[in-house]
Amino acid sequence: MALPEQIVTVDAILFDLDGTLIDSTPGVISAWKTFAEEYKLGSHLPIVQKTHGRRLADTLRDETICNIQDTKLLDSEILRFEDLVIQGSPVALEGAIEFLAQLDSHHDMRTRWTIVTSASRYYATQCIPKCEIPVPASGFVTADDVSEGKPKPAPYLEGAKKLGIDVTKCLVIEDAPSGMQAGNSAGAKTLADFENCSEEIKRPTYIIDDLTRVRVNWENSKIRLTIDTRRGPGSD
């Protein structure tokens, strides 16, 4: 049986964005509703769940979804979709700003975290400041920076590379099955944040309800996390 409070020490933290640090659910649902109607996809809600955490380029190109193969059209539809999500007014999730403030409070820790998102640079550049999330000192990784998106390991390998840290010494914090698979495949430790999770996540190293359950300190040139893994009422 796992202890309610666990200590983990890592060299760096790699955060997913949507569903982990920010809640963009209303905008995502609205965007998929619009696209489902226009592309005659039927109910949009199963698509929201199926595509959560994946790059738009991959989902819109998917033959079972929108089947957009023309590159110019794909690029314009990605932009239109992300604008619809932004119009849904994404907000920071509970505990996210405070958690990142803890990391940024120490000169060494502030260079040991980054964001690895399946969204485009256009979207991330707008949503991160809009949600009052601090911009990582080392920059962030977007869908535009990798040739393969989640669930492939490339995004998190790129995130670790950006920080100059061995990915096996990193902790990936995710809410999506595709992102958790990417983190596991990359060789990182993984923490599942269930605050906004819509589907079962398999094989995380740690599980929490939300980011208020984690405290961080800088100790012996490493990030020391105290993780409260007790699940709240209604948790499985």
Question: What is the tens place of the pLDDT at every residue in 38-50?
Answer: 999 999 999 999 9
pLDDT average, residue stretch 71-95:
97
**pLDDT at position 61:** 97
The three-class DSSP label of residue 218 is strand
pLDDT average, residue stretch 206-214:
90
Task: Give the residue among 193, 227, 225 at the shortest CA–CA distance from 112.
Answer: 225
Q: Which residue has the higher pLDDT, 235 or 207?
A: 207
Distance of CA 137 to the CA centre of its chain: 18
**pLDDT at position 171:** 98
**pLDDT at position 232:** 58
Which is it for the CA torsion 218, 221, 225, 226, positive or negative? negative
pLDDT at 148 over 50: yes
What is the rounded average pLDDT for all residues in the chain?
92
Which residues are catalytically annotated?
16, 18
**pLDDT at position 5:** 86
Residue type, 6: Q
Residue type, 227: I
d(CA 64, CA 36): 12
- Provide the pLDDT confidence category of residue 230 given band limits of 50, 70 and 90: confident
- Provide the pLDDT confidence category of residue 229 given band limits of 50, 70 and 90: confident
- Provide the pLDDT confidence category of residue 3 given band limits of 50, 70 and 90: low
pLDDT at 206 over 90: no
At residue 200's C-alpha, the angle toward residues 67 and 93, to 5°, is 90
Provide the whole-model pTM: 0.92
What own/partner pairs with CB < 8 Å and gap ≥ 24 does 189-193 have? Answer: 189/8, 189/10, 191/227, 193/19, 193/20
pLDDT average, residue stretch 67-88:
98
**pLDDT at position 165:** 98
pLDDT at 198 over 50: no
**pLDDT at position 196:** 47
